Structure formats: C-alpha cells, structure tokens
Structure 1
Amino acid sequence: MHNALKNTMIMTLSLVVLENIAAIALAMMVDKVRCFRNLFRSVFYFPTLLSGIVMGFVWAMILNYNFGVLNQILESARLGSWIVDWLGNPKYAMLSIILSTVWKGAGYYIIIYLAGLQGIPQELNEAASIDGAGGWQSFGISPSRCLQGR
C-alpha cells in the first residue's frame, strides 16, 4: 500500500510539473514560428488524440530491450553502455512511463497555452522589446525578483 501511494505521488507530481513545463516551452516556440504554425500545432497535438492502448504499443516498441528503437539508436551511436531494459528494470520503468505520458498529454496543454499567448496584444510584446525586456521578463518572470521573494 505504501509503495503504491509513493508511486502515485511521484507520478502525479512529475506529470503536473513536466507536462506544464514542456507545454509552455513548446507553446512559446510555436508562437514565435511564422511559417508552418498550423503544422506544428497539429504535430504536437496529435499524440493527445491517440488512445492509451496505441500509446502503450508505440512506446513498448520504442523502449523494448531486444529490438526497441531507442536501444538501436544508442547502439548505432556507439553508446552501448547506455542500453538498458527501460520497462523491465524498476530503476528506469517509472521514468519511462512518466516521459511517455508527458509526450501524450503535453499537446493538450500546448494548445491552451498557445491560445493564451496569442491572446496577448502584439503592442505589449513590442513595448516590452523596446523597453529592453529579455526572454524571462517579457514572459512575466524576473529571475532576480523570484530570488528576492517579491
């Protein structure tokens, strides 16, 4: 019981943090793109449309120890010491499941964050640029302000 609760907490916290970080980062990148913006939206949203069964099958093929794509890439890149049983080794199984679930779920949040970013008037972005605001400041986060607790 305690192990199940611990795994659930790890999974929940990891998904909340990683899905949102990935979604914000990718949404900001897609927001800056002028050409092929709709293509990128579609590509990032596509995994969200897949069922859990399809996602499990795809990631099982990627992470399989004997013939998985990831281990084949590592072997061809002469990184044979990094080849592990991603799903069979308890040390790596949770990480593998978390990353595959982030891949599936982040697309939904990318669309939400992208809608919010595109709702910001262009004049505000231009004013921030003219005022010399950097990437973090124009996003609304000042690292020095965060460190000072303001």
Structure 2
Amino acid sequence: MLLTRRLYLGVHSDVVDHVTADKRSLIMAAVHSKNTRPEVRVRKLVHALGYRYRLHATNLPGKPDLVFAGRKKIIFVHGCFWHRHEGCRYASTPKSRKEFWESKFGANIDRDKRTQDELQQMGWSVLTVWQCELKDLHKLTERLNDFLSPQHA
C-alpha cells in the first residue's frame, strides 16, 4: 500500500492507496486501444443507422477505428483522458509523475494530429468521436449520420 497526500475539502490529508504499484501497473496494462467500450458503442450506433464499415485498417495511418472505404470516410473513437479532449472534465492530469504524463499526452496529441493530416492528404474525411459524447446519444447519432451521409464532403 502506498501512502499518498490528497486534498479533500481544502485540507491535505494522508490517504492509503488501496492498490499496490504492481496492481496499478496491471490495471494500466489492461487498457487497450481496440474494442473499447466507447468504440463498441459507436460501432453499434453506426450499424443501427445502416452503415457498414471495416475495423482497424492496418494499411492506413493510425489504424482507424471505423473505415468506410466506399465513402472515403474514417471515424476515430478517442478516450478523453488519453487523447486530451480539450476543455473536457475527463481529460484530467494525474498529480504524480507530471513530467511523464505531460510527455505522454503531448506525444499522443502530436501523433493524432499527424495521423489526421496524413489521412486528409490521402483524400479521407476524418471524424473524431470523443468518449464524453456518448452521454448524449441522440446528438451523437445526428452527428454520425450527418458525417456519413452522401451530402457531407
């Protein structure tokens, strides 16, 4: 168990972390990049709208989550924490190892931008769906339908 200091109601207090460093490492290792809950929920929405897609195309930069080859459209489903959704409450930064996390998050943002630029240069339209957008399924459904419709360029 690790003893940590936490701020609670404006007062610092010592709190025991109920997870050992090894257990925390296992938890973080269990975070995957494919078939996440948000991604599966978006796939179900898109499928219910009648659209068909390919998953994780390894021949494209960034291995997009959903690929609509005939439409030249791609959807990425990003977690707000890992991909740093600007202004989102879920994009919090851990208090410990700040330099490590800032470096990691910065690399993720740079990679996402590079990937999107490469795909657009190849003629693909790219949509990013953020994890927090799954809170309002009606609004997200409209956004997905608008993006995937033939009228959207």
TM-score bucket (shorter structure): under 0.3
Instruction: Considering Cα pairs closer than 8 Å and 6+ residues apart, tell me whether 1 or 2 has the greater RCO.
Output: 1
Bigger Cα Rg: 1
Structure with greater strand percent: 2
**TM-score, normalization: structure 1?**
0.27
